[in-house]
Structures are given as structure tokens and as C-alpha cells.
């Protein structure tokens, strides 16, 4: 039975790496798939992982119709056994419904990868529809960590290094390199207008305590008093 599976996790939790690995494993067993992504950091029509691998992918836009895409490919003689759908949070709810229909009516396996919530902890529309429709939701096993060492569950946005809670839902960007526990600052300083992201545990997301705030309060953030 074909399945619609949603692999979810915070930013930097290995979703794109897993997407590439699943594509590789299915292709290695003779299955034919199509890779899709939207707004990948590496640029248009790419699927890239922070581990260094980047491969071409079909760029999804608001006009993409997955049903038509698969029908067109099959009409031209191509086999489509599975779809790899990265950055699925940016897809429209209607596109996620098309993906579910492909599973049910054409027997195509669909593997979606994405973050569930935005910098305000609100669900992205595409992810909400995935959570509603998926046969299975899998949380990635590799834990992205908050600066305090707890599992990171939320994505924070920073502008000029300061956490913000207002702004456009979609701003493509990357996580900054985290400061080292020994205090050595390896982070690249942010440009004046730069938007960055940092993954945090819920407690620190709610209190707006990013690694920079924690470092400013104590040179050894792990020993901060309760309340931070
Ligand atoms: N230099 C590195 N060495 C080992 N693992 C790394 C390195 N850089 C990144 N990673 C791993 O890659 C993960 C990010 O992978 P990626 O697929 O880009 O994440 P996502 O798509 O979820 O944002 C990190 O959580 C980390 O486990
Ligand atoms: C939290 C949040 C993230 N984004 C963007 C930033 C990145 O370009 C992607 C996530 O990619 P990743 O492979 O999971 O690291 O989403 C955004 O536009 N809005 C947000 O609130």
C-alpha cells in the first residue's frame, strides 16, 4: 500500500539529509522517483543538506499541480513510484491534498519533509495539512539541541541577532553556527539586516532566551539560574 509520510523536525534536524538518503535507497532498488523542493537555501530547483550534498529537484511554485505533473510524466512513458517532497511547509494545503490523492488513486508513495511551526510557533499551512492527512508522522531521531542542552523543539528567528516574533511567515534563511560551550566565539557576525534562525527548547523560545541572551547573562550559560 502506498503511503503519505510526513517527516517533521525543527530546522537543522537532518530532514533534507534523510530526504536524500531515502531517494538514494529507493532508487538503488530500481524504483523511479521525482524530487521536489521549494525555496531551498541553496537556490531554485535544488535539494540540499547541510552535510554538503545538493542535487537537482523540481521547484514547487503556487502553480504546481502534483496530480498533473505525475500524469504528464506517466503519459510520456516515465514510471513514477515515489515522490520526495522537501520544504513541504511551503506547499499550499491544496497541493498537499493532491499528494494524498496521488497516494490513494495512483499508488505513488509520497515522502514529505518539513518544519511544522514557524518562528511564532504557529503551524505552516502546508504542514498543518500534512499533519491532518498523513498516514504516518515521523519525528526525526537526531535531536537538534537548544543552547541549554535540551532537545530543540521550536524555531526562533533573529534580526540583527535579536529574536523577533513579528514579520512575514516566509523568510528563507539558515541557522547560525552555535557558540562553543568553552566560550570561543566561532559564530559569523550577522550583517545589519540579516535574518537568522536558532533552534530552542520551548522554555527558552517562550522566554526569548537565545544563546546570545544567555551568553550576555552569564559566561557559562549552562549554569544560569532558573528563570532563564
Ligand atoms: N560538519 C558536520 N558534521 C556532521 N554532521 C553535520 C555537520 N553539519 C551538519 N551536520 C548534521 O546535519 C544536520 C542538518 O542536516 P539538514 O539535512 O541540512 O537539516 P534540515 O533539512 O532538517 O534543516 C545537523 O543537525 C547535523 O546533525
Ligand atoms: C522558522 C521559519 C523558517 N523559515 C525558513 C528558513 C529556511 O529557509 C526554511 C527551513 O529550512 P530547513 O531545511 O528546515 O532548515 O524555512 C521561514 O521561512 N519561516 C519561519 O518562520
DSSP 160-216: TTEEES-S-S-----BPPPPPTTS---PPPPPTT-EEEEEE-HHHHHTT--HHHHHH
Choosing from 59, 69, 87, 105, which is the catalytic residue?
Answer: 87
**Residue 168 falls in the annotated catalytic set:** no
The domains found in the chain, sorted by start residue, are 4-139 (3.40.50.300), 154-223 (no CATH)
pLDDT (tens digit, 9 = 90+) per residue, 18-27?
A: 999 999 999 9
Nearest ligand 2 atom to alpha carbon 39: 8
Nearest-CA residue for ligand 2 atom 13 is: 11
pLDDT (tens digit, 9 = 90+) per residue, 89-130?
A: 999 999 999 999 999 999 999 999 999 999 999 999 999 999
Identify the band that residue 179 occupies on the pLDDT scale cut at 50, 70 and 90. Answer: low
Pairing of strands 4-8, 136-139: parallel
Instruction: Tell me the ipTM for this assembly.
Output: 0.98
Question: Coil, strand or helix: which one is 65?
Answer: coil
Nearest-CA residue for ligand 2 atom 10 is: 11
* Pocket flag, ligand 2, residue 116 (CB < 6 Å): no
pLDDT computed for residue 182 by the predictor: 53
Amino acid at each position: 500500500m502506498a503511503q503519505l509520510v510526513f517527516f517533521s523536525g525543527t530546522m537543522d534536524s537532518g530532514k533534507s539529509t534523510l530526504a536524500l538518503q531515502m531517494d538514494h535507497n529507493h532508487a538503488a532498488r530500481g524504483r523511479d522517483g521525482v524530487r521536489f523542493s521549494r525555496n531551498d537555501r541553496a537556490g531554485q530547483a535544488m535539494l540540499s543538506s547541510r552535510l554538503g550534498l545538493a542535487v537537482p529537484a523540481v521547484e514547487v511554485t503556487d502553480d504546481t499541480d502534483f496530480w498533473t505533473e505525475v500524469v504528464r510524466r506517466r503519459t510520456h512513458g516515465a514510471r513514477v513510484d515515489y515522490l520526495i517532497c522537501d520544504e513541504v511547509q511551503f506547499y499550499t494545503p491544496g497541493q498537499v491534498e493532491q499528494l494524498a490523492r496521488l497516494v490513494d488513486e495512483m499508488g505513488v508513495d509520497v515522502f514529505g519533509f518539513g518544519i511544522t511551526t514557524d518562528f511564532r510557533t504557529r503551524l505552516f499551512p502546508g504542514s498543518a495539512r500534512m499533519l491532518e492527512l498523513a498516514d504516518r508522522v515521523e519525528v526525526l531521531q537526531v535531536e537538534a539541541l537548544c543552547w541549554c542542552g535540551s532537545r530543540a523543539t521550536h524555531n526562533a528567528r533573529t534580526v540583527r541577532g535579536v529574536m523577533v516574533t513579528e514579520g512575514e511567515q516566509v523568510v528563507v534563511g539558515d541557522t547560525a553556527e552555535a557558540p562553543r560551550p568553552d566560550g570561543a566565539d566561532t559564530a559569523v557576525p550577522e550583517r545589519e539586516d540579516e535574518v537568522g534562525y536558532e533552534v530552542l527548547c520551548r522554555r527558552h523560545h517562550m522566554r526569548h532566551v537565545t544563546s546570545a541572551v544567555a551568553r550576555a547573562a552569564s559566561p557559562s550559560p549552562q549554569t544560569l539560574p532558573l528563570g532563564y
